[in-house]
Chains A and B, each alone.
Chain A
């Protein structure tokens, strides 16, 4: 049984426009999948279907075999915008998922501080979001999704606002954490190299449809040298070609 299975899922808005058209995709437990595609092709919408924030108008989404009927406790979501509570400190924002279910314990606080350290923000726990840079805010949002250690992580361009070096560090940290907890991940990105570096499999979307699936047979753990290896570059090039092909409307292999 796949951890996530998307079966013929479609999504339309009341005005009649089809945003997602019969999407089929499966993610096995512990796998890291990336979703790439141009702006406006429906990546965020697909992620929200999986999260249970939107209900598919056709087809179903299953998590561990169960049809998704709403946001579940086993799913962590990082939104495209940081979405922090401005009237709460960084630490309180991090602990929000915990404090909505129970009173945070000292262990939770330690956990939150570890995560802050991981995303390179230690010492800033007392600040308010307005006192952070955009990239720092998105790192807090990432840490917030990790604090409950959800078995399924859905990330919507979490590193888009970061510089190349911080981004590489966070990519490595995310990979480490996900490997440690055997987290299943669906990761939306615009960045081809990021998709190839992180993922076991990359899904290419275009105009509301999944056009292509590209497996990434790079060994793990992936380190710095991987990024400059010929294999890596060849895969990036291949993905780029697939995306160009998708853009020109040539339907490639449909994963079904």
Chain B
């Protein structure tokens, strides 16, 4: 019922937009017609123009996400487990939080050249921090009683990590993953703005160069849908990993 209402809201909004643009004669350069955007989108997908770009962005995002999350998780485990390292690195981690990672993009282009590599590096860097933070927090938040239980059962450090700390910190870690997934898309697209030859972000820049607002809107839609799909996938993974058979 509510779902139908919110779908109706979208239809009304698009209809209002279309009518207003036609009646007021707004230039397609400023705000394109929704119908034109949908047509461009359809042509781009059916004609195959958008697909390689979609593929490139998805690949960059996936690689950046995989690398950034893996390294972030492992670093988080290391810092949570070794207090000396934590004290040593924590000021720098805090400082690096406020560095706008995207601003490093031009530097990465100098280092890694135009193309996928620098975008993957930016994406990985952006995904690294939420995983690092949440892994550290999650592993340190273990119930002291459970820790004492493992001590009483003479569990080794590795057993305590694998069988107590990681499972009990998993909800926090996965919340970090959900944040990372959203940031990964931003990272990939903006990374392409700066140094991409291909991909959805690079296409936006290309469309801008040709003053093709309709294409830009079509690309926004593709990016939004891609974001929704990966977010849902991450949320689904989270639900699956944290499933507790409450239903019995």
Q: Which residues of A contact B (CB under 8 A)?
A: 51, 53, 71-73, 75, 77, 79, 81, 83, 85-87, 96-97, 100, 127-128, 130-131
Give the nearest-CB partner of A82 in chain B. B145
Instruction: Note all chain A residues with C-beta closer than 8 A to B248.
Output: 127, 131
A-B contact number at CB 8 A? 48
Q: Could you tell me if B145 and A79 are in contact, using CB atoms closer than 8 angstroms?
A: yes
Task: Provide the bound-state CA to CA distance between A85 and B57, in Å.
Answer: 41
Main secondary structure, interface of B, reads helix
Q: Does B98 sit at the interface, judged by CB under 8 A? A: no
Instruction: Note all chain B residues with C-beta closer than 8 A to A81.
Output: 145
Q: Which residues of B contact A (CB under 8 A)?
A: 143, 145-146, 148-155, 159, 163-164, 167-168, 170, 244-246, 248
Task: Provide the bound-state CA to CA distance between A72 and B152, in Å.
Answer: 7
Given contacts A79-B148, A128-B244, A131-B246, contact A96 B153 (CB under 8 A): yes
Task: Provide the bound-state CA to CA distance between A100 and B155, in Å.
Answer: 6
Give the nearest-CB partner of B167 in chain A. A87
Given A86-B168, A87-B170, A87-B244: 20 more A-B contacts, CB < 8 Å: A72-B154, A73-B154, A75-B152, A77-B152, A79-B149, A83-B143, A83-B146, A83-B148, A85-B146, A85-B163, A85-B167, A85-B168, A87-B167, A100-B153, A100-B155, A127-B248, A130-B244, A131-B245, A131-B246, A131-B248
Given contacts A83-B146, A131-B246, contact A71 B152 (CB under 8 A): yes
Given contacts A85-B164, A128-B245, A131-B246, contact A97 B153 (CB under 8 A): yes
Instruction: Note all chain A residues with C-beta closer than 8 A to B145.
Output: 79, 81, 83
Main secondary structure, interface of A, reads loop
Q: Could you tell me if A53 and B152 are in contact, using CB atoms closer than 8 angstroms?
A: yes
Task: Provide the bound-state CA to CA distance between A51 and B163, in Å.
Answer: 22
Instruction: Note all chain B residues with C-beta closer than 8 A to A73.
Output: 154
A136 to chain B, nearest CB (A): 14
Task: Provide the bound-state CA to CA distance between A79 and B148, in Å.
Answer: 9
Q: Which of B151, B159, B168 contacts A53 (CB 8 A)?
A: B151
Instruction: Note all chain B residues with C-beta closer than 8 A to A53.
Output: 148, 151-152
Task: Provide the bound-state CA to CA distance between A180 and B151, in Å.
Answer: 28
Given contacts A73-B154, A85-B167, contact A130 B149 (CB under 8 A): no
Give the nearest-CB partner of B151 in chain A. A71
A69 to chain B, nearest CB (A): 12
Task: Provide the bound-state CA to CA distance between A128 and B246, in Å.
Answer: 9
Task: Provide the bound-state CA to CA distance between A79 and B143, in Å.
Answer: 13
Can you list 16 A-B pairs, Cβ within 8 angstroms, ordered by A? A53-B148, A53-B152, A71-B153, A71-B154, A72-B154, A79-B148, A83-B148, A85-B167, A85-B168, A87-B170, A97-B153, A100-B159, A130-B244, A131-B245, A131-B246, A131-B248
B143 to chain A, nearest CB (A): 8
